[in-house]
Amino acid sequence: MTSSGLPAEEATGELYLYGILRAGQELPEGLVGVAATVPRTTEHGDLAVIFSDLAEGADFGTPADLVAHSAVLDEVAEATTVLPIRFGTVVPSTEDLSEQVLRDPEGLLASLQRLEGATQYTLRARYEQDVLLPEILREDPELARLQQEIAGTSEDETRHQRIALGEGIVAAFDARREPDAEALRAALEPLARDLAQHDVGSADDVLGIAVLVAREDAERFEAAVEEAAERHHPQMRVRLLGPQAPYDFVEGSR
Amino acid sequence: MTSTAVTQQRPRGGGYADRPSSSSLADVVEIILDKGLVIDAFVRVSLVGIEILTIDARIVIASVDTYLRFAEATNRLDLEQKGGKDLTEVMGETQEQGAKGKVGGAVKGVKNALTPDDEGDEEEEAAQKEKVEASSS
């Protein structure tokens, strides 16, 4: 079953939106969207919107919907360029599609053009604590001494020493992070059309980054990530998501 | 150190980079919740029963809680070297580092609330193991 044949006028309730792409394209078969709906497209001029009909009173908003939203976008992105719309976007009627969603067709087409032929990967590198902590202690006798002091004690007994030790460990992570993150970034940059670095979420994070890669470079990019992961093993664990839709490279996303 | 089997293992797929075949919910929350085109006034942020927080929580605010956790992690390592507890406990305890004050704790809460049944990634499993161990000790 193709999902682009039904006219939008048949949509009776609200429309849940996934993304925007060029008109005249078929969606992949077998997509499952939010609230167990089947996504389809509706076209306006040179653009098309991927959407699902939400039945009135549909139970929408579960974690499964979040996963479905990204699954739809990632599958579509394998086949063609798509601009992801933010999760949770629901418009009351089809009129809103032309009046609001597709209000700036030139801008949207320009974004699609900019992302043409590219795919996104998201990389996250974290320190392996059971490798780094001994390393940090080896390198800093003061921290090693504090660790000896707290061994076999309760938190109440050695609270001050523990805080000092923890501060020292966080400082050690901080000192390593920039050169390590830079080394990883340098391995990715040659094959990247664009990069969007994320703020780190915790002290043992090294790098979180979204990378836009030309499709023809995807294999080499994945190989470069694998090489970098091997180089930094066992100090770091590297996780690579993708190919995925260009969430980080749409104008209007952070 | 003898007990590095857990962390020295290669990730799934045989390579050094972990390539999950389908994104875990935790990944999806991080990646997509605040990304993509915003259609003015039409974003219904309604993950059921859970308040959506801005992902500014990613800013690291190391707190006393963070320091205590790292310190305890070194304590556990010491025990491990003496043939002590399971290394996954150390991983579980220290994976959720970076307490970020109220906001960060709530983000973690969002993630944990969203992944009650999720196999999730190693962190979730290890964190769960650690909780079970803690409650049974």
What six digits make up the tokens of A210? Answer: 């979204």
Of B16, B68, B96, Cβ closest to residue A166: B68
Nearest to A229 among B3, B16, B75 (CB): B16
pLDDT for residue B18 is more than 70: yes
Neighbours of A74 (CB within 10 A): 23
Is B120 exposed, middle or buried, given 0-12, 13-18 or 19+ CB atoms closer than 10 A?
A: buried
B24-48: per-residue pLDDT in tens?
Answer: 777 777 777 778 887 765 555 544 4
Q: Is-contact A243 A121, C-beta < 8 A?
A: yes
Q: What's the token pair of residue A178? A: 């920039």
What does the alpha-carbon distance between residue A247 and residue A49 come to, in Å, rounded to a whole number? 16
Contact, A8 vs A42, CB < 8 A?
A: yes
Q: The tokens 């992690």 sit on which residue? A: B73
- Taking an 8 Å cut-off on Cβ atoms, the answer to whether A165 and B71 are in contact is yes
Largest distance between two CA atoms of chain A: 73
The distance of A44 to chain B (nearest Cα, Å) reads 16
Most confidently modeled range among A51-65, A206-220, B30-44, B118-132: A206-220
Contacts of A19 (CB under 8 A, 6+ apart): A49, A50, A72, A73, A76, A82, A83, A84, A85, A245, B36, B37
A214, two tokens: 């030309």
Q: Which of A67, A115, A207 to mutate to test the interface with B (most CBs of B within 10 A)?
A: A67
DSSP code at position A167: H
Query: Does pLDDT of A9 surpass 90?
Result: no
The residues facing A109 across adjacent strands are none
Label residue B95 by pLDDT band (50, 70, 90): very low
Q: What is the pLDDT of residues A154-178, one digit of tens each?
A: 999 999 999 999 999 999 999 999 9
Across the interface, whether the CB atoms of A100 and B40 are under 8 A apart is answered yes
d(C-alpha B60, C-alpha B68), whole Å: 16
Model confidence at B79: pLDDT above 70? no
For A49-85, the DSSP string reads EEEEEEPTT-----HHHHHHHHHHHHHHHHHS-EEEB
| Mean pLDDT along residues A83-96 | 87
Say what angle helices A159-188 and A141-150 make with each other, to 10 degrees: 130
Contacting A residues, span 165-204, partner chain B, CB-CB under 8 Å? 165-167, 169-170, 198-204
Instruction: Report the SS3 class of residue B83.
Output: coil
Contact B71 A166 (CB under 8 A): yes
Best of B23, B40, B42 to disrupt the A interface (most A CBs within 10 Å) is B42
In the predicted structure, residue A48 carries a pLDDT above the cut 80: yes
Cβ atoms A123, A188 nearer than 8 A: yes
* Average pLDDT score over chain A: 90
- Give me the mean pLDDT over the A47-73 stretch: 87
Q: How far apart are CA B59 and CA A35, in angstroms?
A: 33
For the full predicted model, state whether its pTM sits above 0.95: no
- Would you call B28 and A66 a contact, using CB atoms and an 8 Å cutoff? yes
% of chain A exceeding 90 in pLDDT: 75
Structure tokens given for B84: 């002590």
DSSP lists the bridge partners of residue A120 as A212, A244
Query: Of A93 and A237, which is predicted with more confidence?
Result: A237
CB under 8 A, 24+ apart: contacts of B108-114: B110/B29, B110/B47, B110/B50, B110/B51, B110/B52, B110/B53, B111/B25, B111/B26, B111/B29, B113/B49, B113/B50, B114/A63, B114/A66, B114/B25, B114/B26, B114/B29, B114/B47, B114/B50
